[in-house]
Structure 1
Amino acid sequence: MLSLDATTLDIKNYFFLPTNSTSEDIEWGSSPTLFSGANGVPLVGATGKDGVIYALRRDDLTPVWQTTLAVECISPEDGCGSISTPAFDGQRLYVGAGVADPDSDAGGSLYCLEPGSGAVVWRTLLDRTVLAPVAVANGLVFASTTEGLEIHDADSGGTLWTDRQYGALYSQPVVSDGVVYATYVRGDVIAWHIGDPPSRSTQTRAPRPSLPGSGH
């Protein structure tokens, strides 16, 4: 991870993953997330294929805490490591990952962490892994899994609703005005009204691009 001068783009500080892995493909998996730690200290956090979320001081990238979320791997699609960018709601961090126990029947995990210490507030095991960033709004956590869209209670992690009929999602859900928008691998963009239960309000499918020489 690098911190750059916003004017000159000179490198100010950097932090390498402290992994002892023999693999040549263990690197950062997510984008950085800005949040506040204990006593309002400005922090930045990110996850890696080593399955760990790291929290660093924003001013000098000094490590503050780290929490293991999942077992290390080079292919997060297999339910290990993490490439899910953490989400911060002003009080807690939420992040998706693979599983910490390689013998588990679960396919992935959803975590809520204390931003000051990295302590686990709750962990919910999922049928499939979460590759995309999660979204949090109005006391709900929205997770895109490799099997469908899920909604969880932000305080307890309890599963409130799941949808499996449209398949995998690799992008972050977007929440606005009581509607969650989800983009599916098969090309559908679906808007779900967040009710009890959620209901599909609109659906569209992205057009397939024309191939060179196809005549279309």
Structure 2
Amino acid sequence: MAIPNVVALKQVVAQRETAPLKDVAKAINIKLRLADQNDNDARNHRIEAGEMLVTLRQRVEADGQDWWKFASDYFDRERKELEKLMTYVPAHKVAKAAIAAHPQKSDRAIAEEIGVDHKTVAKARARTGDHSPVEKRIGKDGKARKMPEPKQQHANPAQPEPRKLPKPPKIDMNVIKQAGAFHTELLNYTLEFCERIKSWHAEHPVDEESHGCVVQALETASMRLQLMAQEIDDR
């Protein structure tokens, strides 16, 4: 299937867990090309490409195929870049993809394979709304075990009625405007600052020490911004 327009791309992205493997790979390639071409949305495109890569890998391996052989056939990116994209995906999303690909495996078996805590896998399985999608689960030792029957809750008329949950807070439009202002301010400042640095460097040759000073400042600022992004994104 070709992906001729944005509508078709969004459809494949939304159906990443069920769409044909080749179509998902095409959509990821498009996302990465968009990231290369658009500085403003590059981060969002790469994050979504990374999440799709995690899902695709789990599906490919569940299909019995070698993941890196598949990746070399369908992606023109280096292995390091693909690994980096998948590294930034939150643990609960990696766990969700692994559960979808191997629902018969136990939480501990999946956790050991993807390198997260088994409690993270259990929470991700609970979020799917189905705690026991199969009759048996395969443990880390490779043995299949029948899942225990869920305990029945007996009605107790003496128990008080459950409390009503409070209504979620209303969306504060001022906060949304402030977030947009941060976005615009940072992008505009970064673009303007980079242009000044390039112009200054082209017009004024500097010695090795001055050159290193500027390069180190740019790299430090870049790392600090990345750490801030990860901190507020709970990564």
Larger radius of gyration: 2
Alignment TM-score, normalising by the size of structure 1: 0.24
**Structure number with higher helix proportion:** 2
**Structure number with higher strand proportion:** 1
